[in-house]
Structure 1
Amino acid sequence: MPAKPHPVVFINGLWLHKSSWQPWESLFEDAGYRVLAPGWPGEPDTVELARADTDSVADKGIDDVVAHFAAIIGGLDASPVLIGHSFGGMIAEKLLGQDRAAAAIAIDAAQIKGVLPLPLSSLRATLPVFRNPANRHRAVMLTAEQFRYSFGNAVTPEESAMLYDKWVVPAPGKPLFEAAAANFSLHSPASVNTRNPRRGPLLLIMGGQDHTVPEAITKSTLKQYRYSPAATELLEFGDRGHSLTIDAGWGDVAQACLSWLGRKGL
């Protein structure tokens, strides 16, 4: 039986299949946590099925994903710890702000409303979606070269190619369009209740070499929480890119998450 009172729910971001959390799941189970990695709404069970059925995730937006995970959390017998990567990190932040979690760890989290920096590398990383407005309602697959720039720039070309073959799936374009318009929308789905004084602790993790979510975005995200007395902390892995949850160094990031949860008594 798991020894920890709070289950851990892993939330993947765009382009990585939910099964990419498998090494994390094993590590956290060994640490005494009950773990779940349910994936996004409509996400097929395997990478192969996801690549074959792009329509299953097409046109899924931020609110759809939040509602999906909120329903899963509602069926748990204890408030969970949420660990999300990229857009999964944003989803974790939203759910934490809604008091649906005991704590959250947002790794290279997508920008929330109020975050203004938009580095050129981030624009280039998302160009495969934004080059066609119709992609708002489609699922888009990265090429191996695009993945190399967006995720695998801090690892060898060989490792980037291996990660691409193992984990990459088509992703809905809609969340990216919603995030891009967030600061021009009064009721943007990318809004997060950063002022909630009662929420659980939040850890923001950033990779210093990340092209998709450069450190300027994560540092600006941290500032959005300055009006809340709830604990918000920042941890940087200076030599890591957006692939930090799946590449050969994933264990360092995962162990840092376990250590932080231990310090928080979770």
Structure 2
Amino acid sequence: MKSSNSKTVLFITGAFVHNSGWDTWKTYFESKGYKTLAPAWPYKESAPAAELRNRQPNDTGLAALTLSELVDHYASIAKSLPEKPIIIGHSLGGLITQILINRDLGVAGVGIHPVPPQGIIPYEFSFLKAGWKALGLFTSLKKTYLMSLSDWQYAFTNGMSLEDQKSSWEANTIPESKTVARGGLTSAAKVDFNKPHVPLLITSGSEDNILPPSLNIRNFKAYKKDNGSVTEYKEFAGRNHYVLGQPTWKEDADYILEWLERN
């Protein structure tokens, strides 16, 4: 086992979804000898998805949450651990992973279909279609945003059966802070692409609408390649943005585990 022999994995949840989406990953990584944790965002602790939806749209604490506060939340968790963790994040959690790795708070990082840092312009139509409502333009920032089933079907679960789309929405979808979403356009989302860093893997899925491979490739290419740092990219066929819960999730997890062994 490489990655500085760390046996602790910090999973970071993305926007719109419940942190229980990591449960099968946690169990699997623990079966391989790792200690894992997948803490919720602030204002989402210890509540199931349905309960969080019942707070919509008047969860003022969550509505006011900023991306900087969210990053600091996970930075504090990483610093509190007895050893530097392996950090693995999905979507917005993948952006936070990159920021924490840039701050030297982990021994390795994996961004699964990550939101790109500041400076990488997401001009893809599918990204704009899937994500523009989360910015809440011309709406109150004092109210949270909840992804509808139809938006979930396009942004996360395209290509899946209607039954699976509905059940995954019920199990995972929760209200979100528009302020956090807007933070992705600010310096709160900045990383130093030239700074040497611990091994970093970026993965993408061929069927992902909200964060398509072309966007993840630009993210990967932004990192300086001649500073001795390991930065790798892997695209998986057939994965949409619900990659953590697709039937193929174990193949992705195995690839990540093998990559960690190599690095």
Task: Give the TM-score normalised by the residue count of structure 1.
Answer: 0.90
Corresponding position: 1:191 with 2:183:
no
Partner of 2:16: 15
Kept after mapping to 1: 8 A contact 2:135/2:179: no
Partners in 2 of 1:106 and 1:131 — Cα distance? 25
Alignment partner for residue 139 of structure 2, among 134, 142, 163?
Answer: 134
Question: How far off its partner does 1:208 sit?
Answer: 1.2
Partner of 2:111: 106
- Greater shift in the superposed pair: 89-98 or 118-127: 118-127
Partners in 2 of 1:71 and 1:131 — Cα distance? 28
2:21 maps to a residue whose letter is: S
Partner of 2:256: 257
Partner of 1:168: 173
Partners in 1 of 2:140 and 2:247 — Cα distance? 32
Are the structure 2 counterparts of residues 220 and 135 from structure 1 closer, same or farther at C-alpha, using a change threshold of 3 Å? farther
Alignment partner for residue 204 of structure 2, among 195, 203, 206?
Answer: 206
Kept after mapping to 2: 8 A contact 1:11/1:89: yes
Q: Secondary structure at the match of 2:10?
A: strand
Q: Secondary structure at the match of 1:58?
A: helix
Kept after mapping to 1: 8 A contact 2:67/2:180: yes
Partner of 1:82: 87
Kept after mapping to 1: 8 A contact 2:136/2:145: no
Are the structure 2 counterparts of residues 61 and 26 from structure 1 closer, same or farther at C-alpha, using a change threshold of 3 Å? same
Partners in 2 of 1:136 and 1:208 — Cα distance? 33
**Unaligned 5+ residue runs, structure 2?**
none
Are the structure 2 counterparts of residues 194 and 154 from structure 1 closer, same or farther at C-alpha, using a change threshold of 3 Å? farther
Are the structure 2 counterparts of residues 258 and 223 from structure 1 closer, same or farther at C-alpha, using a change threshold of 3 Å? same
Kept after mapping to 2: 8 A contact 1:129/1:173: yes
| C-alpha distance after superposition, 1:8-30 (max 9, x if no partner) | 00001011101110000000110
> Number of residues paired by the alignment?
254
2:11 maps to a residue whose letter is: F
1:51 maps to a residue whose letter is: R
Question: How far off its partner does 1:137 sit?
Answer: 4.2
Q: Secondary structure at the match of 1:139?
A: coil
Question: How far off its partner does 1:60 sit?
Answer: 1.6
| C-alpha distance after superposition, 1:60-96 (max 9, x if no partner) | 2221111101111111110000110000000000000
Alignment partner for residue 97 of structure 1, among 95, 102, 113?
Answer: 102
Partner of 1:67: 72
Alignment partner for residue 177 of structure 1, among 182, 194, 199?
Answer: 182
Q: Secondary structure at the match of 2:82?
A: coil
Partners in 2 of 1:103 and 1:65 — Cα distance? 20
2:51 maps to a residue whose letter is: L
Partner of 1:31: 32
Are the structure 2 counterparts of residues 137 and 235 from structure 1 closer, same or farther at C-alpha, using a change threshold of 3 Å? farther
Partners in 1 of 2:77 and 2:136 — Cα distance? 34
RMSD: 1.6
| C-alpha distance after superposition, 1:213-259 (max 9, x if no partner) | 11111011011102543110001012211011112221111111111
Q: Secondary structure at the match of 2:64?
A: coil
Task: Give the TM-score normalised by the residue count of structure 2.
Answer: 0.91
Partner of 1:122: 127
